[in-house]
Amino acid sequence: MSKRQGLASKLLTVLGGAGLAIGICAARASAQATIPPPWTVANYANRYVCNVESTTSVPTTPPVPGVGQNYFTGVMLINPNGRGGYQGGSLLASLTPFTGVAPTGNALVNFCAYSLSPTLSHYSVNTNGIAAEILTWGLNAGQNASCAPSFSMTNSTMLRNNSTANNVVPRTDFTTDNFLGLHSVTVNDPGHGYCLK
């Protein structure tokens, strides 16, 4: 009888230890997996700095690798207001793809500068955290004549699955259909990027 009690005691000890280990792991996993809020325009607010890039191609017949292609880059500063609009923004895009020449030693003339129109730009956010944005950019005065003119771009933006203490997301990822307004029947310039607080 004592042999059975000893086995039962050992079995209970092993099962109890396994249950304790599972309970600790489950508690840790549930503490790390936070449930995102039902997303709204309020989750996308304040200042973001964004990196955007696009490879633009002009189709050739037959296709020739590297011919008719440019790599466009830009840095955007945007200020969504948390209500579906923008307080303002700016965009600097590299001038080299427009001119085809090497940049000069003067950094100020190597970029095309744009300002965001708050009255013509807006966004919405669905409950899954997907934002639809329309950003309308005006070319600033005094820019190189080779810079792309004023343009609008539409973005599909994903709010990342975390938020700050004030319920605003610190990072987004986006894809855009018309970076620098160059899209036409013969030129394709979708782009993509990310934004950080």
**Which pLDDT tens digit goes with each residue over 111-165?**
889 999 999 999 999 998 999 999 999 999 988 888 888 888 889 899 887 778 7
Q: Quote the DSSP letter at residue 62.
A: S
Residue position matching structure tokens 């840095």: 75
Q: Quote the DSSP letter at residue 188.
A: B
Query: What pLDDT score does 173 carry?
Result: 86
Question: 190: cis peptide before it, omega within 30°?
Answer: no
Query: What pLDDT score does 62 carry?
Result: 53
Q: In this predicted structure, which of 3-17, 42-56, 103-117, 166-180 has the lowest mean pLDDT?
A: 3-17
Q: Specify the 3-state DSSP secondary structure of 115.
A: strand
Query: Does the pLDDT at position 93 exceed 60?
Result: yes
- pLDDT top residue among 99 and 35: 99
**Predicted confidence (pLDDT) per residue in 34-87, tens digit:** 556 689 999 999 999 999 988 766 555 555 454 556 677 889 999 999 999 999
Whole-prediction pTM: 0.72
Q: What are phi and psi of 103, to 5 degrees?
A: -65, 155
Q: Specify the 3-state DSSP secondary structure of 87.
A: strand
CA 105 to chain CA mean position, Å: 31
Query: What pLDDT score does 73 carry?
Result: 83
DSSP-derived pairing of the beta strands 86-94 and 48-57: unpaired
Cβ atoms of 194 and 171 closer than 8 Å = yes
What is the mean pLDDT of the segment spanning 21-43? 60
Q: Return d(Cα 47, Cα 156) in angstroms, integer.
A: 18
Q: What are phi and psi of 37, to 5 degrees?
A: -70, 165
Query: What pLDDT score does 139 carry?
Result: 94
Half-sphere exposure for 87 (CA within 13 Å, toward CB): 11
Query: What pLDDT score does 70 carry?
Result: 67
